A = this chain, B = another copy of it.
Amino acid sequence: MTSSLGHALLGLLARTPGTGYDLTQRMSRPVGYFWSAAHSQIYPELARLESAGLVRHEIIEGAGPRPTKRYELTELGRRELTEWVTSAAEPARERDPLMLRVYSLWLAEPAAATDLINQVRQGHVRRREEYAEMAATLEAGGTDRQGLAEPGFAAYATLRAGLGYEEHRIVWCDWLLDRLRENPGSAN
């Protein structure tokens, strides 16, 4: 009955306990590459996880008008996460806004289409560099050679997937740009 967001939060807390604010930050940078959430979604979800007995909190000192809560996994939460992680994967329904555009790209001026794809390509190159740097850092620290049972390896595996994704997209952009150059006009 726990949602994807719930499992994302459990996955973060299994590594290090933290406040809702802290989880919001962590959701945006490393995890945000494959799952994202705003704080307005995270706070109520933490409350739900707590009432399900999967996490618990203690009050610590911190800045702010309301008490600062530090959350951590319970044994039940750890068990739930562990069971979920290898349970049958639901068929991912894709939602790719770029492909939605490309599907109607035949309506656009060739120059505008080229601009669009160039812009998209740039974004992928930027992100590839970002991933490559992170991967290099992890590799320098030996994280890539960590055992399967260590969290660092799991993070490295998602990074590798991200790198592969960006590379495939860049290759595809180059293919399309080639076609747009060869055949800049209208019909065959």
A positions within 8 Å CB-CB of B? 4, 7-8, 10-11, 14, 31-36, 78, 81-82, 84-86, 88-110, 112-113, 115-116, 119-120, 123, 142, 145-151, 153-155, 157-158, 160-162, 164-165, 167-169, 171-172, 175-176, 179-180, 183-188
Contacts and interface: CB of A to CB of B under 8 A. Distances in A.
A68 B89 CA distance: 38
Contact of A158 (B97, B102, B107): B102
Contacts of A112: 86
Given A103-B154, A175-B160, A97 B90 contact: yes
Contact of A11 (B31, B104, B161): B104
Q: How many copies does the complex hold?
A: 2
30 contacts: A7-B100, A11-B103, A11-B104, A14-B107, A33-B94, A34-B94, A34-B95, A34-B96, A34-B99, A35-B95, A81-B104, A81-B107, A82-B107, A99-B161, A99-B162, A103-B154, A105-B154, A106-B150, A113-B148, A145-B188, A146-B188, A147-B183, A147-B186, A148-B184, A150-B187, A153-B179, A157-B179, A161-B172, A165-B165, A167-B168
A19 B158 CA distance: 42
